[in-house]
Amino acid sequence: MSIKLGDTAPDFQAETSLGDIKFHEFLGDSWGILFSHPADYTPVCTTELGYTAKLKSEFDKRGTKVIALSVDGVEDHQNWIKDINETQNTDVQFPVIADKNRRISELYDFIHPNASLTATVRSLLIIDPGKKVRLIITYPASTGRNFNEILRVLDSLQLVDSHKIATPVNWKNGEDVIVPPTISTEEARKIFPKGVTEVKPYLRYTPQPNT
């Protein structure tokens, strides 16, 4: 199947480096990040998992649970995690899913025949508390993911869900946001007491509402 934005993230049961899980139960009411890796002991992914572990407090602040997936088994995962902790000077505390039969990879469309008939592509999904897929990014095997960008998108999605706004190019937490076209300027001035700057009738900015 092909996962699209707005779809419900499929539920599954799996073995992980931290024991068996049911995916939706694992997520609970949290936001979630599910990201796939072609195999254990790959250098780019080693740096990614290490950096993700260092961001634990940032994900905790955003009420977000992180879980990785690789097509190797639990024992390999656990030994790889020891390498990650050693080489990246960190402590990986999130689970890594074992997907030796590629059942979950195929469920989530992580196998792309043009890239590889057997290994997963390096995809990342952000899933909201309603279990809806809100972001899908797929990287080539040679390029490490930018987790600062993942945090930026997570901030944007959570802000959009709590306020009637959109975020402009290169937006970062604390900067001005955009008033959506569905809201008139007159209405916007009532909704956003910090003020509305109209550049064009369709392009209006307001200070971030929750700062």
Question: In angstroms, rounded to a whole number, what is the distance separating the alpha carbons of residues 55 and 123?
Answer: 19
Which residues contact residue 136 at a Cβ distance below 8 angstroms, ignoring those fewer than 6 apart? 3, 4, 5, 123, 124, 125
Beta bridge partners of 67: 34
Q: Which residues pair with 210 in a beta bridge?
A: none
Q: Do strands 197-200 and 13-16 pair parallel, antiparallel, or not at all (unpaired)? A: unpaired
- Candidate list 27, 34, 45, 119, residue with the active-site label: 45
| Ranges of H-type helices in the chain | 23-27, 43-54, 56-61, 74-88, 103-107, 147-162, 185-191
Between CA 130 and CA 128 the distance in angstroms is 5
45 catalytic? Reply is yes
Name the percent of the chain in helix, strand, coil, to the closest 5: 30, 25, 45
The one-letter amino acid at 113: P
CA atoms of 156 and 170, how far apart (whole Å): 11
Query: Is 154 strand, coil or helix?
Result: helix
Question: Using an 8 Å Cβ cutoff, are 163 and 211 in contact?
Answer: no
Q: Which residues does the annotation mark as catalytic?
A: 45
